[in-house]
Structure 1
């Protein structure tokens, strides 16, 4: 069963929550990504905390969608530790 919740951040970005099974889909606004190497670094940082995570990076939109069983705080911390600030996050 999927649950949908929509949140509006202070910056006007929409946040979503989609839960299916034990996983949650997050959409993050991530700054500093400019190339495929950046996308790979972000993907590796997420997979370091959840090796089964599905990661989709959109460089142009500066968005990262992640399907994972790990808490949002761990995911955003891993990405920030890799040098890419997460400026907005949403649970889809």
Structure 2
């Protein structure tokens, strides 16, 4: 799935986004495009759970493609 992630301004933010996703699904594969503000995620977790967790972590997110 492809996620739009706001407020991801540095590599530390990108690592925090990856950690947040992998807390929900330790086997998730995450490819972050920090300049583009997106992440491609292969996961068993539900999209809405990811959006909620990322938003709570300070990175408002939305699903662009499932």
TM (norm. structure 1) is: 0.68
Q: How many residues are paired up?
A: 66
Q: Please report the RMSD computed on the Cα atoms of aligned residues, expressed in angstroms.
A: 1.0
Higher helix share: 2
TM (norm. structure 2) is: 0.92
Unmatched segments (≥5 aa) in structure 2:
none
Give 2:49's match in structure 1, choosing from 74, 78, 91: 74
Q: Which runs of 4+ in 1 moved over 6 A?
A: none
Q: Higher relative CO (CA 8 A, sep ≥ 6), structure 1 or 2?
A: 2
Higher strand share: 1
